[in-house]
Amino acid sequence: MRYTDEFRDKTLAQGLAAAISAEADRQKAYRFMEFCGGHTHAISRYGLEDLLPANVRMIHGPGCPVCVLPASRIDMAIRLVERPEVTLCVYGDLIRAPGSQGQSLLRAKALGADIRMVYSTLDVIRIAEQAPSREVVFFAIGFETTTPPTAVMIRIAEKKRLKSLSVFCNHVLTPSAMQSILENPKIRNIGGAAIDGFVGPAHVSTIIGTKPYELLAEQFGKPIVIAGFEPLDVMQAILMLVRQVNENRYDVENQYSRAVKREGNRRAKDEVSQAFEPREQFEWRGLGFVPNSGLKLRRAYARFDAEARFAMHELQVADNPACECCAILRGAKRPVDCKLFGTLCTPETPIGSCMVSSEGACAAYWTYGRVRDDQVRRTS
């Protein structure tokens, strides 16, 4: 297939693998976090870790929108959709995401709640137009990539005077989460160098550009390489990170130059800033409350805000105490370090959100990496 096969070429991969092996200092351990679930997926799907030397290890970061959504927000959505007049529109995997006490939107749907899976925010507009007597609520989640479509949807809804449409906003901001990971004392306690660099977001960066990472790289002294989601992109980014570490540099480099500019996508950014403003803080599964990390609708669009419209209350829900999602999302532990992994917690019966989405760190390990871990366990 054109435009994809070129980025999955075995020979080029072997060349990059050889370069990484040759340049990585054998006396040194390299621990790189790929922030995005899209990168985690590519690493697992293509078996990329098999091509890396033993001293270059990838840590799966929190960049999966479903994974970082706390149980409290799912519970809020379930409570909302229990109202008979509400139709809730959601993106794919969110429907299986676990709330507290074994609740999920999937269960709510089985009990009769009107929940629709949508592929695009334009589907939400269509649903609202077709059923004007329903209160159609879009469960908006995701990082900077999915925020512009929500903003556009609100603009269209306003233009079409769709009074029955609203948004339950859970959009989050990548740089704040990266900062939270680096500032976390738990991370710093492990010698302060649990992460030697970041494979930076692909699609998120097409929107926000590379500039927002510059302060982070400078402040924490960690190299960041923005990379595409194809396996060769990731390999090349790893090589660039190895070189930066070897040269004691901590720059923001752009491997994904075919899609990402330093300034990002101005039009998308404008759409977003017109509709949204930062929340003081937002709860992330695994990271807790992170300041300035979430978005809410601006006052001018308050009538589209489901939280205000339905007087939705913030719920407090404690995570399952045995679940290591928190540590895994922070890169402090690996999925196999969790007692629940593969026993109580599997893709069929997820406990933590890392197991829910196929891009979640635990689900990716479970689906693609069990053999590798089994081999590690046997040899260690």
Q: Which of 36, 51, 154, 275 is close enough to bind other proteins by CB under 8 A?
A: 51
Q: Binding string to other proteins for residues 161 to 190, with x set by CB under 8 A, is what? A: ------------------------------
We find the least distance from the C-beta atom of residue 211 to other proteins, in angstroms, to be 29
Closest among 183, 233, 240, 238 to 206, alpha carbons compared: 233
Nearer to other proteins, 4 or 248 (CB): 4
DSSP letter, residue 281:
E
Q: Is 379 in the site for other proteins (CB under 8 A)?
A: no
Phi-psi category of residue 283: left, alpha or beta, with phi > 0 → left and psi -120 to 50 → alpha: beta
Cα separation, 144 vs 142, whole angstroms:
7
Nearer to other proteins, 18 or 215 (CB): 18
Q: Is 123 in the site for other proteins (CB under 8 A)?
A: yes
CA 221 to chain centre: 23
We find the least distance from the C-beta atom of residue 12 to other proteins, in angstroms, to be 10
Q: Is 57 in the site for other proteins (CB under 8 A)?
A: no
**Kind of pairing between the strands at 295-297 and 276-278:** antiparallel
Cα separation, 299 vs 314, whole angstroms:
19
- E-strand ranges in the chain read 30-36, 56-63, 86-91, 114-118, 135-142, 165-171, 197-200, 224-226, 252-254, 276-278, 281-284, 288-291, 295-297
We find the least distance from the C-beta atom of residue 43 to other proteins, in angstroms, to be 9
We find the least distance from the C-beta atom of residue 36 to other proteins, in angstroms, to be 14
Of 193-201, 204-212, 301-309, 358-366, which segment contacts other proteins by CB under 8 A? 358-366
What the block records as the tokens of 148 is 């512009």
Nearer to other proteins, 95 or 207 (CB): 95
We find the least distance from the C-beta atom of residue 360 to other proteins, in angstroms, to be 11
- For other proteins, the binding residues in 316-355 under the rule CB under 8 A are 347-348
Cα separation, 60 vs 48, whole angstroms:
13
Distances (CA, A) of 55 to 30, 49, 51, 67: 6, 11, 12, 28
- For other proteins, the binding residues in 231-290 under the rule CB under 8 A are 231
Half-sphere exposure of 179 (CA within 13 A, CB side): 16
Closest among 146, 140, 210, 141 to 175, alpha carbons compared: 210
Of 4-12, 130-138, 262-270, 286-294, which segment contacts other proteins by CB under 8 A? 4-12
Q: Which of 67, 199, 295, 363 is close enough to bind other proteins by CB under 8 A?
A: 363
Q: Is 362 in the site for other proteins (CB under 8 A)?
A: no
List Cβ neighbours of 377 (8 Å cut-off, separation of 6 or more).
336
Nearer to other proteins, 231 or 335 (CB): 231
Distances (CA, A) of 168 to 71, 307, 322: 15, 6, 30
Number of residues that bind other proteins (CB under 8 A): 33
Q: Is 102 in the site for other proteins (CB under 8 A)?
A: no
Q: Which of 96, 269, 279, 334 is close enough to bind other proteins by CB under 8 A?
A: 96
Q: Which residues of 170-205 are buried (b: 16+ CB within 10 A; e: fewer)?
A: bbbbbbbbbbbbbebeebeeeeeebbbbbbbbbbbb
We find the least distance from the C-beta atom of residue 165 to other proteins, in angstroms, to be 17
Nearer to other proteins, 16 or 182 (CB): 16
The contact set with other proteins (CB under 8 A) reads: 1, 4, 8, 10, 13-14, 17, 44-51, 96, 117-119, 123, 231, 347-348, 358, 363, 366-372, 374
